[in-house]
Amino acid sequence: MTGRKYFDFTKPNFPDEFEKLVRFLYGQSEYREPALGQVPSYVTDFKRPYFGTTTRKELAINALKEEKLSVLSYCEDFFSKVYETLDGFIIDTDKEKVDEVDEVVWNHVNDLLPLSRDCIDVLETMITCNKNESTVNCIHNFLEKLLTYREKAKGNRRVDYQSDHFHFFVYYLYMNLVKFLITKNNFELLKHFLHNYYVRNKYINSKLQNFSTFYPNTRAFEVRKSKLQLNRRSLLADLLKQGCKDDEIEMDNIMQADLLLKMYACKEEKNERIFWYPVSLVYAEMREQPFELFVRAESKEFFNNTLGVLGFNRENLENIKKQLSELSRYSYHLGWIEPLQLSNIDNLATKD
């Protein structure tokens, strides 16, 4: 009888058993399953995995540190996996709503941050452990290949900002490379990455570009800011700060690098027009002291070994000073900053 449904009316709890009988006859269970709740975000959020990227990063870094033979082949292998990963982020506008492309770009920017950090780790280790002409050329070629992604797109419809996540990716890497070389006082190598030219597109309309080719198109960010009515001076600057993970020293180093790039652009402007906008300086609004590089450069010896290597001298400093004054006067995007003060330009190379 154990397999049969029954109700025991011999016990004192007759009312309870009687209710169970009635519920059974009408097919109404005493206990009901609760309604399903919201699906946890970690289940539905789609995270693009970087299959093999982190592993290959570790192989490359270990090979560099252990000075293995054919060490650059490990780096090239890592770079190949980076290209393969980036290929998966090319936006097909035929599959996306045009008015949502800015959202897709923004999500891709954030999705690619872990990959960019892997790249930075490898580049810094290459410079630290294996600094020679072959390594420098390998890095140069890697940067050039990344520039080609700024032109990649899918779909018959074209949106002029559907590759802006690639713009930010290569800009972010270049900014961090410059920052690293400054903090390591490696101005000879910095001169290479500033002064040498880059082939922006190796396949279509190839031509030489100066370092300003790394400055990104930010149309997608402006569209997003307008659409969401964000009260932000620059989403590009916000992303740079986000990459520093609230580390004030790291952000200081980014702003210092940004200002140096602007000054270098001003120095070279007599020969060719170079655009560089030090957007990160929006976070220097309340800063009163110059950046460390420019404080130390009051020493003539330090100046000659650093800024002097990049071609700075008393003559072009006057031209730079003039342009920085105009930047402060007309650049409302930056807020109330003083580039002349941040660069310490009046005191550079003044002390024996």
Residue 198's SS3 state is strand
Token pair belonging to 219:
């149309």
Helices first, then strands: H and E counts in the chain:
16, 2
Residue 92 phi, psi (nearest 5): -100, 105
The pLDDT, as a whole number, for residue 348 is 95
Taking CA atoms, 222 is separated from 75, 106, 164, 169, 172, in Å, by 36, 11, 11, 17, 18
The pLDDT, as a whole number, for residue 50 is 47
Per-residue model confidence as pLDDT tens for the chain (352 residues): 667 777 788 777 777 888 888 888 888 877 777 777 776 654 555 555 445 688 899 999 999 999 988 899 999 999 999 999 999 999 998 888 888 999 999 999 999 999 999 999 999 999 999 889 999 999 999 999 999 999 888 888 888 899 999 999 999 999 999 999 999 999 999 999 999 888 766 555 667 889 999 999 999 999 999 999 998 889 999 999 999 987 889 999 999 999 999 999 998 666 667 889 999 999 987 788 999 999 999 999 999 999 999 999 988 999 899 888 887 666 666 666 788 899 999 999 999 9
Token pair belonging to 270:
């007599």
For residue 211, the 8-state DSSP code is: G
The pLDDT, as a whole number, for residue 253 is 96
Residue 31's SS3 state is coil
Each domain of the chain, given as residue ranges in start order, spans: 51-243
> What residue type is assigned to position 263 of the chain?
M
C-alpha 268/C-alpha 311 separation (Å) is: 9
pTM equals: 0.82
Could you tell me if residue 48 is left (phi over 0), alpha (psi between -120 and 50 degrees) or otherwise beta?
beta
CB 139 within 8 A of CB 192: no
262, exposed or middle or buried, with CB in 10 Å at 0-12, 13-18, 19+?
buried
Residue 351 phi, psi (nearest 5): -115, 135
Count Cβ atoms below 10 Å from residue 35 Cβ, excluding itself: 5
For residue 200, the 8-state DSSP code is: S
CB 163 within 8 A of CB 91: yes
Report the sign of the C-alpha dihedral through residues 128, 134, 140, 145, in that order.
negative
Count Cβ atoms below 10 Å from residue 317 Cβ, excluding itself: 20
Residue with tokens 């003039």: 322
